[in-house]
């Protein structure tokens, strides 16, 4: 597995909601407050609907206990900022929060989260979770700070109607970056009025630009055995790499050659709502570099119902740069449920997690949000495997996927990536200038912990 309120206004409202009962999250020992990211697209209610069902079940099974939701409605980057502000004080800290795995180590280092090991040790279901998902919620101290609720993979979605008009194959499987750009150029030439290729870019898109866009390129530049962003041997961030420049040049080509959306659209923080709700369903986008969760936007009740999507869209793996082994690339992330260090009711909050993460409830969530299962028993369940077209394709990508280096500096490094992307997207910076600016920023934000490649 995203209208924007002014940050301070939204934060003030959230704080008001949290303190309305006269005190912090611990103001009532019988009420837990749960914060999560609410979609900025008013018609997408997948998370809200799921959590409402869990609340009803939890309150039925725990007489006298109440669940109060404190949703944060904001684009990704603002969500993280607001959440961190809330976590700083016992007065505003919820009892349970939804954490993106890319940010979890930063929040652990800041002392915002509580280790869950004492609870996990007494929870039999924990053994059902796959190791990679568990690792994504671990701190550098070896303790676990979150319970994962699924993972994701990424690839290329393409519109078979657009491809037919362009004379491109319905079973398109590009082998190299050049193949992707060649298809986009063909669409631009033969199917006017259609955006040939969308690659998320720039600071307004936040992690969507870094992960769906840039890292899907960067991690396909080598042989898949070495992290091109972080050198684990020296424990330093990589600067000066040709791979970084090559990835930037791809982004530059998309936008400077008119193969992508208008730059003003691409730099709209809510452009993903336009992509999911309008461009793809209306056949106005040829190729989308995007994630496994897209179908949740098209389910009944979503406001963008599109039952025909599985007939209209094809799926292809993102190829490596030159077609070199392993031939394809994916990035995986995911979200976890974490308990703030300043939570007033941590035990009750974990009981809520246990309710969310029964096998049946977990399967219901993976299917509802088009997620990839991280519970072994759900992954093996035929009801999960048959739930949605494409689920097998995206599950198979797990074998060639990569995870972000989730160290405390990563969010700042990610922002530096977005700034470099934005520079070449607008044409304000050359690839060399943008890469040089990235190197200088990373050196600064990591305290000089860089190695040149």
143 near 117, Cβ under 8 Å?
A: yes
Q: How large a percentage of the chain has pLDDT more than 70?
A: 94
Which CATH number is correct for 154-332+406-452, 3.40.50.150, 3.40.50.2300, 3.20.20.370, 3.40.190.10?
3.40.190.10
Strands 31-35 and 96-100: parallel
> Whose structure tokens read 């799921």?
50
Higher-scoring residue by pLDDT: 253, 374: 253
Residue 27: what pLDDT?
A: 59
Please state the rounded mean pLDDT for residues 33-60.
91
Q: Name the nearest CA neighbour of 153 among 385, 358, 374.
A: 374
Is the bond into 326 cis (omega within 30 degrees of 0)?
A: yes
Report the predicted TM-score, pTM, of the whole model to 2 decimal places: 0.79
> Whose structure tokens read 């097998």?
392
Query: Per-domain residue ranges for the chain?
Result: 7-148+334-403, 154-332+406-452
Residue 40: what pLDDT?
A: 82
C-alpha to C-alpha distance for 337 and 356, rounded to whole angstroms: 10
pLDDT tens, position by position, 431-450? 999 999 999 999 999 999 99
pLDDT tens, position by position, 275-291? 999 999 999 999 999 99
Q: What are the C-alpha distances in Å from 173 to residues 20, 160, 315, 316?
A: 55, 13, 8, 5
Residue 66: what pLDDT?
A: 97
For the chain, report the end-to-end CA distance as a whole number of angstroms.
33
C-alpha to C-alpha distance for 390 and 376, rounded to whole angstroms: 19
Q: With bands split at pLDDT 50, 70 and 90, how would you rate the model's confidence at 9?
A: very low
Q: With bands split at pLDDT 50, 70 and 90, how would you rate the model's confidence at 222?
A: very high
Residue 19: what pLDDT?
A: 35
Q: With bands split at pLDDT 50, 70 and 90, how would you rate the model's confidence at 296?
A: confident
C-alpha to C-alpha distance for 19 and 15, rounded to whole angstroms: 6
Look up residue 253 and give its two tokens: 């080509």
Please state the rounded mean pLDDT for residues 55-62.
98
Residue 187: what pLDDT?
A: 98
Say if residue 22's pLDDT is above 60.
no
Higher-scoring residue by pLDDT: 386, 249: 249
Say if residue 172's pLDDT is above 50.
yes
Say if residue 14's pLDDT is above 80.
no
Q: With bands split at pLDDT 50, 70 and 90, how would you rate the model's confidence at 408?
A: confident
Q: What is the CATH number of domain 7-148+334-403?
A: 3.40.190.10
How big is the chain by its Cα radius of gyration, in Å? 22
State the average pLDDT for the chain.
90
Q: What are the C-alpha distances in Å from 7 to residues 100, 289, 347, 364, 375?
A: 19, 29, 31, 33, 35
């Amino acid at each position: 597995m995203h209208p924007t309120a002014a940050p301070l206004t939204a934060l003030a409202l959230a704080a008001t909601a949290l303190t309305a009962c006269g005190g912090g999250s611990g103001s009532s020992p019988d009420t837990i407050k749960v914060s999560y990211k609410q979609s900025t697209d008013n018609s997408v209610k997948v998370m809200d609907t799921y959590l409402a069902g869990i609340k009803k079940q939890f309150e039925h099974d725990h007489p006298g206990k109440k669940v109060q939701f404190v949703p944060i409605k904001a684009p990704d980057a603002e969500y993280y900022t607001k959440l961190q502000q809330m976590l700083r004080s016992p007065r505003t800290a919820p009892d349970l929060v939804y954490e993106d795995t890319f940010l979890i180590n930063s929040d652990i280092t800041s002392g915002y989260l509580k280790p869950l090991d004492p609870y996990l040790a007494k929870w039999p279901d924990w053994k059902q979770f796959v190791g990679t998902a568990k690792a994504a919620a671990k701190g550098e101290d070896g303790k676990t700070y979150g319970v994962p609720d699924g993972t994701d993979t990424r690839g290329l979605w393409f519109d078979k109607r657009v491809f037919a008009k362009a004379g491109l194959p319905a079973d398109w499987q590009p082998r190299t970056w050049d193949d992707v750009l060649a298809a986009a150029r063909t669409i631009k030439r033969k199917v006017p009025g259609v955006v040939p290729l969308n690659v998320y870019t720039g600071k307004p898109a936040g992690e969507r630009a870094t992960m769906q866009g840039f890292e899907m390129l960067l991690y396909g530049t080598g042989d898949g055995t070495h992290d091109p962003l972080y050198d684990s041997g020296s424990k330093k961030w990589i600067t000066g790499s040709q791979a970084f420049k090559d990835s930037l040049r791809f982004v530059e080509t998309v936008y400077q050659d008119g193969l992508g959306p208008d730059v003003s659209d691409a730099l709209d923080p809510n452009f993903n709502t336009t992509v999911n709700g309008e461009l793809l369903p209306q056949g106005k986008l040829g190729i989308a570099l995007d994630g496994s969760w897209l179908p949740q936007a098209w389910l009944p009740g979503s406001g963008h119902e599109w039952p025909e999507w599985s007939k209209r869209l094809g799926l292809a793996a993102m190829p490596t740069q030159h077609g070199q082994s392993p031939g394809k690339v994916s990035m995986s992330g995911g979200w976890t449920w974490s308990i703030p260090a300043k939570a007033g009711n941590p035990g009750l909050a974990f009981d809520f997690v246990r309710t969310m993460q029964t096998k049946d409830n977990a399967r219901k969530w993976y299917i509802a949000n088009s997620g990839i299962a991280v519970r072994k028993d759900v992954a093996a369940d035929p009801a999960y495997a048959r739930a949605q077209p494409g689920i097998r394709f995206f599950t198979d990508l797990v074998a060639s996927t990569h995870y972000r280096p989730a160290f405390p500096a990563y969010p700042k490094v990610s922002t530096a990536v977005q700034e470099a992307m934005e520079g070449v997207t607008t044409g304000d910076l050359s690839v060399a200038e943008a890469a040089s600016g990235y190197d200088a920023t990373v050196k600064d934000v990591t305290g000089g912990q860089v190695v040149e490649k």
